Structure 1
Amino acid sequence: MHNIPVIRDNAFVENYTEAIKNPALLADWKLFKQAYQIADTMKITSFNELAAPKFLPHMEFLPHQLESAKNAIQKMNGRALLADEVGLGKTIEAGLILKEYLLRNLVQKVLILVPASLVNQWAVELNQKFLIPALTASKRVNWQDTAILITTLDTAKLAKHRQAILAQNYDMVIVDEAHKLKNHKTKNFQFVQQLSKKYCLLLTATPSPKSIDRHL
């Protein structure tokens, strides 16, 4: 390993020493006020109420969607089965829950497993409706460095991806059409079970709660 020369910057040290004697030289008042306003806007004052709707004024949430999100976060600690009937907005509920955890800085790395026909729909809804920068898996997907990734369960299970995915620590895993996990002997169930995850949302319109979430 080559030695890296270290040179003392006396001019910087002198200027910095002088600056700390006069705080006005370290920060611009206008920038400080802007930073304060941003911090005040992002402030979350209570864990008993959802903060996400305030940051999504362009969306109108139905009462049952808000209630589902509250229950999943406050009563189920982010590990929930969303089993509404078709058309009642399970994707909206999942997006709302994810947004809430992101705003609270409790979630950063997310894996979303959905049917192939719904990958783009999930990406559009999360990006456009919830302002969540989710990406879809490409041929050269970076499992390690992508924060919020949408892919299919079949793609994730492939031998060339499996180990890389299982090596990650996910803050949240979301599985759409989770009724495909109802048989705990299947590879689908075993794969999702092996994922390292803090929070887990399972979405299905045809639930079998006891068999789906028994070990997930």
Structure 2
Amino acid sequence: MADTPAITDRNLEATTNISLKREPACFAFLSPRSISPPMPIDSINLDLASADYFGGRASLWAALEMRSSVSDERPTAILGFDETFLRPFARALIEAATTRAAYRMSILQESRTAERCRVVEYVTGPGKALEELMLQPFDNVVLISAAKGKDGDETLFQLPRTDTFLRAFAKMAYVADQALHDLLDDMERLARQRKPAVSP
């Protein structure tokens, strides 16, 4: 009997796209140390960058991408993260936007000695690890910054604060979170199937 496909392909880029063209103007690359001049955000989406099974554990890496007319709509990653990020970030964004109060989101690492980062930003370099995000609401947008402790906050990008965007973002986060965790389950199942039987 021929083997059936073990893992279903999940096209996050196509299923998570949100247009911002009718939303209040939002920009990325706002830090003085940004690797690019400020760019208007015309749309955002999530993209699955990698999925691995190593050391008895399934893991994956996804990216929050933006597209802008000034860069010919090429996808540009602004955040990279593992499967633990989407749920708390969506909650933080909704709470900051609806309560109009700044929200400080801590990013818990697996351990102090762990080499694997949970969240990185691509605004100021090729993957700078983040330990805390600050979400600051204003009239029309929520400002997303990297909290740097005594060094203050480093502005990364903005997202709209409108009801329509929050609903769309919550739906996107839900769909992507389900897809990512389903993928992890598939990878764990496949690993168990391929694991050689232990002789008595």
TM > 0.5: no
| Greater gyration radius | 1
Q: TM-score when scaled to structure 2? A: 0.26
Q: Which has the higher strand share?
A: 2
Q: Which has the higher helix share?
A: 1
